[in-house]
Amino acid sequence: MKMKTLSTLALTGALTAGMAAADLVIPDLSYRTGPYAAGGTPFSDGYQDYFNLLNARDGGIGGEEVRILECETGYNTEKGVECYEATKGEGALIYQPLSTGITYQLIPKATVDEIPIHTMGYGRTSAANGEVFNWVFNYPANYWDAASVMINYLTEQNGGSLEGKTIALLYHNSAYGKEPIRTLETLSADMGFELTQIAVDHPGQEQKSQWLQIRRERPDYVLMWGWGVMNQVAVQEAANINYPMDQFIGNWWAGAEHDVTPAGAAADGYLSLNMNRIGDLPVFGEIETMVHEAGNAAGDGSNIGSVLYTRGMYAAMLAAEAIAKAQEIHGVSDVTAAMVRDGMEALEITSARMDELGMANIGPEFSVSCENHGGSGLGIVQQWNASSGTWTPLTDYIEPDNAVIDPLISEDSMAFAAENNIEPGCL
């Protein structure tokens, strides 16, 4: 009797383990608490809701259900690493760390563990060189692309030349905030504009000195690399000194609804970049009915359609497409992390596919290769309309200046390879 019970338990355990192993495990390193929760929550909602939609509508990806493992990081690097260690053993297929600090810590770990990392529009820019960073992908665009897209937009606004113009970079005094400096310095030397760098210490609650400096020096444009409270305070301070909002451009982490709403009407006209379009996409309707109304949504549904929700959903779509590609390449449905890496490296996002997914034109068309893990680098400029409470796209997708960025990526990634004894090459 005892033996029979034990055998039954062992069999049940084996079956359960077998079933769990067949799931496609996607960790979600979210931050719904702490000072950065306002940004982390909508992204995570969008990320999870899309996978929940795939489960509800398609039975998962390629017939395999997606199992989401949410782990709260609080946007704290140590907790992010703990989350990685706690979830990787579950058969994690892909990580979206959602923090440049966490990304830097996970790059060596994930490389050893052979689990791909997708750092969409953040993280280490030179990871775009897939020959050095085999397991890291930062498509569809990176920070250096963002800096170049901003400058290209301003160049066009100024009749093709920024010669003699003054541009201030207001940046979070961290690894993240300093990312665009190198690109902007190069572009400044090439294009003849004067660059002033103005650092803001974490968290950015007090920026009086920085905005008094901007008021004194009156730069033609202010570019911002901010996150969290730094964004809201900067927009308010810009309004306080009467700085023209249409000459103030935030990067894509400084262009969500909550970045501008605290300043009210004064934020009207503020510009920001976006790596993806927002708007009324058909997929939102499916999420409403098949996920939210079915009681399987990650949040309360209030974030659907917002900038960061849309970006989270876009990130999930890119992950799902990579998994599908991996299934296609390897001819199996229960893919491993290494297979997903192959899928990411062979990923091709076309307009037709985005239409098919109910996300027409959500992002640019792009393809990934071993040499280029960074995608196309395109970005749009959007403007805040305070009276309607919406972002309006001002431009189509703008190309970065790859002639400037590619040598910088090559230089930085090869230096990393030399420091870490990495022999560049494709897997």
- Output 7 or 205, the one with its CB closest to another protein: 205
Q: What letter represents residue 192's amino acid?
A: G
* Residue with smaller CB distance to another protein, 213 or 402: 213
Distance CA(387)–CA(273), nearest Å, equals: 20
Does 76 bind another protein (CB under 8 A)? Our answer is: no
Residue 232 contacts another protein per CB under 8 A: yes
The verdict on 32 binding another protein (CB under 8 A) reads yes
**Region near another protein per CB under 8 A, out of 105-113, 136-144, 232-240, 327-335:** 232-240
Q: How far is it, in rounded angstroms, from Cα 29 to Cα 71?
A: 5
Going by C-alpha positions, the residue among 224, 241, 221 that lies closest to residue 165 is 221
Nearer CB in complex with another protein: 34/62: 34
What DSSP character marks residue 378?
-
Three-state secondary structure string covering 296-335: CCCCCCCCCCCHHHHHHHHHHHHHHHHHHHHHHHHCCCCC
Q: Is 200 in the site for another protein (CB under 8 A)?
A: yes
Q: How far apart, in whole angstroms, are the C-alpha atoms of residue 113 and residue 336?
A: 12
In this complex, which beta carbon is closest to another protein, that of residue 173 or of residue 336? 173
Nearer to another protein among residue 56 and residue 338 (C-beta): 56
> Reduced to 3 states, what is the DSSP secondary structure of residue 52?
helix
Site membership for another protein, residue 195 (CB under 8 A): no
Closest to another protein by CB, 158 vs 236, is: 236
Q: How many residues bind another protein (CB under 8 A)?
A: 42
Q: What are the backbone dihedrals phi and psi of residue 59, each rounded to the nearest 5 degrees, phi first?
A: 70, 25
Buried b (16+ CB within 10 A) or exposed e, 129-158: bbbbbbbbbbbbbbbbbbbbbbbbbbbeee
Ranges within 157-186 binding another protein (CB under 8 A): 173
In the numeric block, which tokens belong to residue 202?
């974490």
**Per-residue contact flags (x/-) with another protein for residues 254 to 293, judged by CB under 8 A:** ----x--xxxx-x---------------------------
**Using CB under 8 A, which of 182, 215, 385, 422 touches another protein?**
215
Structure tokens at 12: 């049940």
- If one asks whether residue 35 binds another protein (CB under 8 A), the answer comes out as yes
Strand partners, 414: none
Comparing CA positions, the residue from 315, 336, 339 lying closest to residue 326 is: 339
Contact 72, 30 (CB under 8 A): yes
**Cβ closer to another protein: 37 or 360?**
37
Q: Report the residue from 12, 209, 350, 369 that binds another protein according to the rule CB under 8 A.
A: 209
DSSP assigned state of 90? T
The interface mask with another protein, positions 298-317, x = CB under 8 A, is --x-----------------
373 phi and psi angles, rounded to 5 deg:
-90, 5
Positions in the binding site for another protein (CB under 8 A): 32-38, 41, 173, 197-203, 205-206, 208-210, 212-213, 215-216, 228-229, 232-233, 236, 239-242, 258, 261-264, 266, 295, 300
